[in-house]
Chain A
Amino acid sequence: MSAQKKRTFKIEAFKHRVELDPKYAERTWKVLEHAIHEIYNHNASGLSFEELYRNAYNMVLHKYGEKLYSGLVTTMSGHLKEIAKSIEDSQGGLFLEELDRKWGDHNKALQMIRDILMYMDRTFVPGNHKTPVHELGLNLWRDNIIRSGKIQTRLLDTLLDLIHRERTGEVINRSLMRNITKMLMDLGSSVYQEDFEKPFLEVSASFYSGESQQLIECCDCGEYLRKAERRLTEETERVSHYLDVKSEVKITSVVEGEMIANHMQRLVHMENSGLVNMLVDDRYEDLSRMYNLFRRVPDGLSTVRDVMTSHLRETGKQLVSDPERLKDPVDFVQHLLDEKDKYDKIISKAFNNDKSFQNALNSSFEYFINLNNRSPEFISLYVDDKLRKGLKGVSEEDVEVVLDKVMMLFRYLQEKDVFEKYYKQHLAKRLLSGKTASDDAERSMIVKLKTECGYQFTSKLEGMFTDMKTSVDTMQGFYANQYSETGDGPTLAVQVLTTGSWPTQPSAPCNLPAEILGICDKFRTYYLGTHTGRRLTWQTNMGTADIKATFGKGQKHELNVSTYQMCILMLFNSADQLTYREIEQATEIPAPDLKRCLQSLACVKGKNVLRKEPMSKDIAEDDAFYFNDKFTSKFIKVKIGTVAAQKESEPEKQETRQRVEEDRKPQIEAAIVRIMKSRRVLDHNTIVTEVTSQLQSRFLPNPVVIKKRIESLIEREFLERDKNDRKLYRYLA
């Protein structure tokens, strides 16, 4: 009797047992028909399940299955037609309720009928390819009720009207709605879709199309987006309350299309409230909303991103080309950093840290920073400013933060070698004048540059640090050796700089005062005594000196001056008045430097230890200078005309530029040779591309320059042109 056994024994109908009374079938069917009526009339409680089941069982067993089945269809259809009538007759608002109640009744009846006809469902239905009872009941309901002429349109209109009313703020009976839509879903997804969902989506589209037209005329962008967002949540909520979950995607995409996609451009560019205004005013909430809404529609984010990028480029371009800003490099870089911070914050707070937005931000910065070819210099000046004074009293972490931000700007630079040049100059000045605020910060910056650009980039910078350290040791050795002889003479502090590591400018040596020369010679003897085979030259343009001076009323001041200035002042030990030419002759300081020194000694208020005739702002070649007896200052120490790092003048800039170009030549050549060595034969364009890609971490080589370098290499027989194809180059080993 187990499942196994049932399959092995095929049970035939027991024709021999029960006599085939032709009236038997009719009689049995009457019993069942009566039962079905009773069930629909809520009168089933007296019926015996066993009896009904047995009757149906016997009918099927005795080949009256067809009669039973068609009888069921007829009886049920009849009942459903009555039901349809009573639903049609229901008064306005009660229509849905009546429909819902009848649906409930029908479902219950259907379940009972299916149960008593279970044997038919089990054997007759599959054997004769009929629709199972339950499904049959649903189909009959669909055809007799839902799609009956009078009910179909009324039902749809009622549902759509209720939804419209809910959209306009009325409260509707959601659970009734839920029952009705669930009924449509139960009747099959095609019924739900055809009879409800499709028209629902169409009506929704026209509703939101109208609403969005209206809103866009009277709302600003932020408000519009807020309303659109609310509508979207409402629709999602509606789905969760009484629609099929599958409808969510469809209805939200209708809202997105009508309210967002159709008005994207207008929203983004809305005057006084569009995207640009949001960015300018840091309206994170609105921006975030815009991001989340636009993300839903095709091309939405790219629209936002494009507008942001063009705005960034526009403002960035203004920033880097504003002549006012260019006056103060530190302020200039600070502005760049602030701008970057601002947008970083926007992207992290409102744009979900979207990678594509970060990329857009980076590319925009790269674009406009390199528009101004002074950016590398300014960034280095900014670091210089920070490392000189800006970082005093700031914690180590904050220093790191500032430096990291600078590195970020550095990364945008295309001409990193120009930055290196300036950085070297500025670092040299800091080191030599002892102005570095923190050794750790300096080193940390070097490490960052090293990680970013490699060992080669910073080896010289590190060399400078080594020189500084060695110099301290050297000076200790020198004074230990010369201890007895120092006496009252001037104290010398020498920094021995390795040629090549430092940005030394070829300087005409000036004439040092005799007192200094003496000790300088002693140092030279000492140094060369310990380090044979080296050469020492004095870089008088880079030194500083502290001198004590006594003025008219006997007041003493300690003057902190450059080596050049010291030379000039020392002349006044033996004379009260000197002309410009006399000074020039005596010191042999190059004219532009001399003028600058004299200007800072004579023309700066509060620091005018010299007096000039005639009194004017500029130094002329026939001016005369006097020792200023009447000089007063409330400070004991007076710092005069520091040669602080400042923005380069135009000719200096040209000069640096030229030196950078000069330095690039060997690098480009090296790259060409490296490439050709491995590739042997290559055409011109490929070489240019490869060289560019190899060098772009340092600078963007100019194709014309690359061409010149190739020609030079051909001249020097590293390369040759192919004899047949003039565009090909060969490497000559």
Chain B
Amino acid sequence: METGEENTRKEETVKLISAEGFEFVIDKKAAMVSQTIRNMLTSPGGFAETQHGQVTFPEISTPILEKICQYFYWSLEYSSGKETEFHIEPEITLELMMAANYLHT
């Protein structure tokens, strides 16, 4: 889920880049949990993000983006199913909230 996994096919993955330049390659399906990312990847007219399959978030730090990616996968698996807890460390709560608002997640 973190860096690497180059062998995954490009069409099905997307690269998310944090403010510090860390790259997260995750499944497109997972990234689409965010309504904002979904629009970035599907909007007609060919924005840069759609063409390159990568999105840079200059205002989201690496740990937050990592947590967000974890959330995407958790959400895919559990959101519609049974109750499980998605653990959030108290110290990042605020920043995470802001990112969530931004990403419409």
Does B81 sit at the interface, judged by CB under 8 A? no
A44-B97 contact, Cβ under 8 Å, with A115-B39, A118-B39:
no
Q: A54–B105 contact, CB under 8 A?
A: no
Chain A 23-48 interface 0/1 with B at a Cβ cutoff of 8 Å (1 = within): 00000000000000001000011111
A307–B24 Cα gap in the complex (Å)?
84
A608–B102 Cα gap in the complex (Å)?
125
Selected contact of B88 from candidates A1, A53, A111, CB within 8 Å: A1
In the complex, chain B residues whose CB is within 8 Å of the CB of A45: 45-48, 51
A45–B75 Cα gap in the complex (Å)?
31
Does A112 sit at the interface, judged by CB under 8 A? yes
A108-B44 contact, Cβ under 8 Å, with A11-B98, A118-B36:
yes
Chain A 102-140 interface 0/1 with B at a Cβ cutoff of 8 Å (1 = within): 000000110110011011001000000000000000000
Does A16 sit at the interface, judged by CB under 8 A? no
In the complex, chain A residues whose CB is within 8 Å of the CB of B7: none
Q: A48–B47 contact, CB under 8 A?
A: yes
- 29 A-B contact pairs sorted by A residue (CB < 8 Å): A1-B71, A1-B88, A1-B96, A1-B100, A2-B75, A2-B79, A9-B97, A11-B97, A11-B101, A39-B45, A45-B46, A45-B51, A47-B48, A48-B48, A48-B56, A49-B49, A49-B55, A50-B55, A50-B56, A50-B57, A53-B36, A53-B40, A54-B58, A108-B45, A111-B45, A112-B47, A119-B102, A119-B104, A122-B104
A701–B103 Cα gap in the complex (Å)?
93
**How many whole Å from A242's CB to the nearest CB in chain B?**
25
A6 nearest CB neighbor, chain B only: B100
A109–B86 Cα gap in the complex (Å)?
39
B41 nearest CB neighbor, chain A only: A49
B79 nearest CB neighbor, chain A only: A2
Chain B 80-97 interface 0/1 with A at a Cβ cutoff of 8 Å (1 = within): 000000101000000011
A434–B101 Cα gap in the complex (Å)?
107
**How many whole Å from B42's CB to the nearest CB in chain A?**
8
Does A200 sit at the interface, judged by CB under 8 A? no
A111-B44 contact, Cβ under 8 Å, with A1-B86, A49-B50, A50-B55:
yes
Does A572 sit at the interface, judged by CB under 8 A? no
Q: B48–A49 contact, CB under 8 A?
A: yes
20 more A-B residue pairs beyond the given contacts A11-B98, A50-B56, with a C-beta to C-beta distance below 8 A? A1-B71, A1-B100, A1-B105, A6-B100, A9-B97, A11-B97, A11-B101, A44-B46, A45-B46, A45-B48, A47-B47, A48-B56, A49-B39, A49-B49, A50-B40, A50-B49, A111-B44, A118-B36, A118-B104, A119-B102
In the complex, chain B residues whose CB is within 8 Å of the CB of A2: 75, 79, 86
Q: B105–A118 contact, CB under 8 A?
A: no
Does B11 sit at the interface, judged by CB under 8 A? no
B99 nearest CB neighbor, chain A only: A1
Q: Chain A contact residues (Cβ within 8 angstroms of B): what range?
A: 20 to 34
Does B8 sit at the interface, judged by CB under 8 A? no
B36 nearest CB neighbor, chain A only: A53
A9–B58 Cα gap in the complex (Å)?
24
Q: Which 3 A-B pairs have the closest CB atoms?
A: A49-B47, A115-B43, A49-B40
**How many whole Å from B80's CB to the nearest CB in chain A?**
11
Chain B 26-63 interface 0/1 with A at a Cβ cutoff of 8 Å (1 = within): 00000000011001100111111111000111110000
**How many whole Å from B41's CB to the nearest CB in chain A?**
9
**How many whole Å from B93's CB to the nearest CB in chain A?**
8
Q: B48–A46 contact, CB under 8 A?
A: yes
In the complex, chain A residues whose CB is within 8 Å of the CB of B49: 48-50
Q: A14–B98 contact, CB under 8 A?
A: yes
Interface of chain A: mostly helix, strand, loop or mixed: helix
Q: B45–A112 contact, CB under 8 A?
A: yes
A407–B37 Cα gap in the complex (Å)?
82
A119–B103 Cα gap in the complex (Å)?
9
Chain A 612-634 interface 0/1 with B at a Cβ cutoff of 8 Å (1 = within): 00000000000000000000000
A57–B102 Cα gap in the complex (Å)?
7
A6–B48 Cα gap in the complex (Å)?
30
**How many whole Å from A126's CB to the nearest CB in chain B?**
14
**How many whole Å from B39's CB to the nearest CB in chain A?**
4
In the complex, chain B residues whose CB is within 8 Å of the CB of A9: 97
A44–B100 Cα gap in the complex (Å)?
27
A50–B53 Cα gap in the complex (Å)?
12
A6–B105 Cα gap in the complex (Å)?
9
In the complex, chain B residues whose CB is within 8 Å of the CB of A49: 39-40, 43, 47-50, 55
B-contacting residues, A564-621, CB 8 Å: none
Q: A112–B44 contact, CB under 8 A?
A: yes
A53 nearest CB neighbor, chain B only: B36
In the complex, chain B residues whose CB is within 8 Å of the CB of A39: 45
Selected contact of A112 from candidates B43, B59, B105, CB within 8 Å: B43
A157–B19 Cα gap in the complex (Å)?
58
A44–B45 Cα gap in the complex (Å)?
6
In the complex, chain A residues whose CB is within 8 Å of the CB of B35: 118
Looking at A44, A50, A112, A118, the one whose CB has the most chain B CB atoms below 10 A away is: A50
**How many whole Å from B30's CB to the nearest CB in chain A?**
14
In the complex, chain A residues whose CB is within 8 Å of the CB of B43: 49, 111-112, 115-116
B58 nearest CB neighbor, chain A only: A54
**How many whole Å from A94's CB to the nearest CB in chain B?**
25
A116–B45 Cα gap in the complex (Å)?
12
In the complex, chain B residues whose CB is within 8 Å of the CB of A48: 47-49, 56
A1–B57 Cα gap in the complex (Å)?
18
**How many whole Å from B31's CB to the nearest CB in chain A?**
13
A6–B50 Cα gap in the complex (Å)?
28
B68 nearest CB neighbor, chain A only: A1
In the complex, chain B residues whose CB is within 8 Å of the CB of A112: 43-45, 47
A50 nearest CB neighbor, chain B only: B55
In the complex, chain B residues whose CB is within 8 Å of the CB of A116: 43
In the complex, chain B residues whose CB is within 8 Å of the CB of A122: 104
In the complex, chain B residues whose CB is within 8 Å of the CB of A6: 97, 100-101
In the complex, chain A residues whose CB is within 8 Å of the CB of B79: 2
In the complex, chain A residues whose CB is within 8 Å of the CB of B36: 53, 118-119
**How many whole Å from A481's CB to the nearest CB in chain B?**
103
In the complex, chain B residues whose CB is within 8 Å of the CB of A11: 97-98, 101
In the complex, chain B residues whose CB is within 8 Å of the CB of A115: 39-40, 43
B-contacting residues, A193-212, CB 8 Å: none
In the complex, chain B residues whose CB is within 8 Å of the CB of A14: 98
A57–B48 Cα gap in the complex (Å)?
18
**How many whole Å from B35's CB to the nearest CB in chain A?**
7
B46 nearest CB neighbor, chain A only: A45
**How many whole Å from B65's CB to the nearest CB in chain A?**
13
Chain A 49-70 interface 0/1 with B at a Cβ cutoff of 8 Å (1 = within): 1100110010000000000000
